[in-house]
Amino acid sequence: MAASLDTVFAALADPTRREILRMLLEDDMAVTDVAHPFQMSLAAISKHLAILAAAGLITQEKRGRVKWCKLEPDALKPASVWMQSFGQFEPVNLDDFEAFLERELGTERDAD
């Protein structure tokens, strides 16, 4: 549960997994629905979700035959704190933040 920085950063290093997290930001989703927009097998997505769960970034709860995936943003905190120990020890500027959101988040899919 209290996953290591290793597992959290490794989980974030894959664009598919970052996109999944972004999707879950909007709402909880079933595994099949998470898989739908991707061009890969359900099994592959299932593995990605297991990695995210192992990192604590999501939790999964089975209700009936449907397994619901829920974002756990607090799991990002240790990593975020670690990163902020670099730079000037001040939180990210909000203007930069918004500018970045438009550029980076919005174009995530064709960034690589």
Q: Give me the residues that bind its own copies (CB under 8 A), please.
A: 4-6, 9-10, 12-15, 18, 21-22, 25, 71, 73-74, 76-88, 91-92, 96-97, 100-101, 104-105, 111-112
Helix 5-12 and helix 42-54, axial crossing angle in degrees, nearest 10: 150
Q: Is 31 in the site for DNA (CB under 7 A)?
A: yes
Q: Is 32 in the site for DNA (CB under 7 A)?
A: yes
> What type of residue sits at position 30?
A
Q: Which of 46, 77, 57 is nearest to 10 (CA)?
A: 57
User: DSSP E strands: which ranges in 40-107?
Assistant: 58-63, 66-71
Out of DNA, its own copies, none, what residue 55 binds, judged by CB under 5 to 8 A for its kind, is none
User: Going residue by residue from 67 to 86, which x/- string records binding to DNA, judged by CB under 7 A?
Assistant: xx------------------
